[in-house]
Chains A and B, each alone.
Chain A
Amino acid sequence: MWTRAIAAMARQGLPRIYWALFTLVLIGMVTAPQFRTASNLANILEQSAVLAVLALGQAFVIAGGMIDLSVGQLVGLITVIACMMFEAFPSLSPLVIVGCIALAALVGLINGELINRLRMSPLILTFGMLSVLQGFIFMLTDRSVGQVAPAITFLSNGRVLGIPVSLVLVAVVGIAAYYALQRSIFGWHLLAMGNSSDSARKAGLNQFSLTRTAFLVSGLCAGIAGLLVAGRLGTGFPNAGIGLELDAIVAVVLGGTPLKGGRVSVIGILGAVLFLGTLSNLLNLMQVPAFAQIVVKGLIVIVAILADRPGRAARLA
């Protein structure tokens, strides 16, 4: 099973974003001496964990030709709720963890179910949901609340033998996502729906079930990401998730998954997340001013998307 997966990967070659990543790492090695220290590299991995999990969840939705804009605020909501609960019930932290992930999955399920039943555009529905979730966050609190359980701190910031614990978590989620999206019947069907919703329906695929599952996974991943954010911040910050959904979408697309769906690469997404993490790390080390960093980041997104285009087939969207 493993050998087949690796053989398939070798056949397809590494996604193009890895060339950008290697270049960036090379530049870092040469220009910034602090860059190549083991602790800095571990830092990059640690900082990338939230985005990695979130992007992998988003990949399910985008692979099916849909989009989930609500995940950023869902991360914020879970961060706040988790920290409030950890503080209120310090002895029940395993239960709180399970509860938070279940709640996030439930929100994802509601998204999918509403899209199915109301026959709505996922973009509009999840945009509405973004606002609703933000409202819930501010109903709970308008400032940082609570504190995080030690277990979550360990998950986010802990290192065993210098290896970040969150890296293990990302690896587990990544492998699961790889098998679900690229090695399973479910993945085939989801990609078929992304390729052509019409043909998938005519072929008798259950689009409702596919949609529901994709959003469920997206919510689940947002829940895990929310706990990771809580661990990193140490407290429930209501604005923690603002804009994360767009970062996740950028990572998915830079990783070689078109927004129309129908194609997906988990390895590519992980590469794109690392690329974005390394970029901001390097810009910080080079002491580029914060505002200029924003410009550089935007330009890199544009250049990367231009460099990664298929280069054939006229398409507008």
Chain B
Amino acid sequence: MSAESKPFGHSTRLPSLEKAAVWIVLVVLLLVAGLSSEAFFKLNYLTNLLRQAAPVGIAAVGVTFVMLLRGVDLSVGAVISMSAVLCALVMDGRPENLWLGIAASCVCGALIGLANGILVAHGKVSSFIMTLGMSIVVYGLVQVGSGGTARGIVSPGFREVVNSRIGGVLPVLVICLLFAVAIGIFLQSRTRFGRSVYLIGANPEAARLAGLPVNRVTVVAYAVSGLFAGLGGLALLARTGVSGTNPGAGMEFDVLAAVVLGGTTFAGGRGSVGGTFAGVMVLFIALNLANVAGLPFAAQLIIKGLIIIIASAAHSWIGAGSGGRKQE
């Protein structure tokens, strides 16, 4: 896609290898993980890994669209927090409020994304700072709403159902993650919205001249990102069962790292939801590897950082030829 739309780009030679880069990194990392601990190849362990990755993974699907448009969404961490806290507050431990809580979180997530989108598209301002400001606002609102303590109780059944394993093997949460990824892939490759995102991201000016509704697509992309972050918050709430006060703190950077590891660049127009999924897996295997090795928390942080750096370096090395520095 990007090869045709960027005639002066460099990726014409090996587009397939570039796209496969993150998967190669993933396989290598899995092999390393498998060598270091046999547990990694057990189905239970892998599904557990996916369960852990679900909140970040679901949010990352939405952020992929924003980044394809040369934007970035730093508010997802705060939206994840908002979604989890709001849902628990609305549910209030009563079974009849189950769907109300879920709906409230989704709607609020999408509305925050919508606000981001409108401000970025029509305000023509840096999405980095705009969504950073939004994340501060949302974080503050969450604190005001929760009063600084963990309030709200999830409805009975919510946690049990989402955490159960179908047939004793496949956790429902993993299905949710895969479903979110499937929706993302569908949006990306089968809808007019998805195609517009790639074209606008590759060259906004040309897309505008060609008559594409640049602003509308941008607004929709941010709304999608907000909605998926809201769903990610629900996944987090279901996994942990308590809302806390700021459960999504710092997750925006995990999401961002996963998307970039997955091959979506800040230059826009290149990348895919599938790649993002692989990026999420790379990130979480890295975290688990440090965990399994029994390293202290401090060492885990160092290893996480190093693996992000090494995986990203390996990725751009494999994808060399598409090369050059992506410094935008």
Contacts and interface: CB of A to CB of B under 8 A. Distances in A.
Interface of A: 65-66, 69, 114-115, 118-125, 127-139, 197, 207, 246, 249-250, 253, 258-260, 289, 291-299, 301-302, 305-306, 309-311, 313-317
Contacts of B144: 289, 291-292, 295
Contacts of A302: 119, 130, 133-134, 137
Given A120-B309, A131-B304, A298 B137 contact: yes
B70 A316 contact: yes
B306 interface: yes
Interface of B: 69-72, 119-121, 123-130, 132-141, 143-144, 148, 200, 204-205, 208, 214, 218, 253, 256-257, 260-261, 265-266, 268, 296-309, 312-313, 316-317, 320, 323-328
Contacts of B300: 135
B316 A120 contact: yes
A265 B196 CA distance: 36
Contact of A118 (B70, B296, B303, B316): B316
Contacts of B121: 316
A305 B327 contact: no
A83 to B, nearest CB: 18
B129 A250 contact: yes
A311 B148 CA distance: 39
B244 to A, nearest CB: 15
Contacts of A299: 133, 137
B301 A135 contact: yes
Give the interface SS of chain A, mostly helix, strand, loop or mixed: helix
B140 A250 contact: no
A253 B128 CA distance: 10
A316 B218 contact: yes
Contacts of B296: 139
Contacts of A296: 140
Listed residue (B140, B148, B265, B305) with the most chain A CB atoms within 10 angstroms of its CB: B305
Contact of A309 (B124, B306, B309, B326): B124
Q: A-B pairs with the 6 shortest C-beta distances?
A: A294-B140, A298-B136, A131-B305, A135-B301, A298-B137, A135-B302
Contact of B266 (A123, A131, A139, A291): A123
Contact of A317 (B127, B138, B208): B127
Given A121-B326, A127-B257, A291-B143, A253 B129 contact: yes
Contacts of A305: 123, 125-126, 129-130, 133
A6 B124 CA distance: 32
A139 B218 contact: no
Given A120-B325, A316-B69, 10 more contacts: A135-B299, A135-B303, A135-B305, A250-B132, A250-B133, A298-B138, A301-B133, A306-B125, A309-B124, A309-B125
B120 A294 contact: no
8 contacts: A120-B313, A125-B312, A289-B144, A291-B140, A291-B144, A295-B136, A298-B138, A299-B133
Contacts of B302: 131-132, 135-136, 139
A298 B123 contact: no
A217 B105 CA distance: 43
Contacts of A125: 309, 312
A296 B72 CA distance: 23
A10 B66 CA distance: 40
Contacts of B218: 316
Contact of A314 (B124, B135, B139, B253): B124
Nearest to B116: A302
Nearest to B128: A259
A54 B261 CA distance: 28
A119 B296 CA distance: 31
Given A131-B305, A138-B301, A297 B312 contact: no
Given A120-B309, A129-B305, A317-B71, A115 B133 contact: no
A74 to B, nearest CB: 13
Contacts of B139: 294, 298
A120 B268 contact: no
A291 B148 contact: yes
A121 B133 contact: no
Contact of B208 (A66, A289, A314): A314
A298 B305 CA distance: 28
A258 B124 contact: no
A61 to B, nearest CB: 10
Nearest to A313: B124
A301 B74 CA distance: 14
B136 A301 contact: yes
Contacts of A122: 327
Given A120-B313, A136-B302, A316-B120, A127 B253 contact: yes
Listed residue (B127, B143, B303, B317) with the most chain A CB atoms within 10 angstroms of its CB: B143
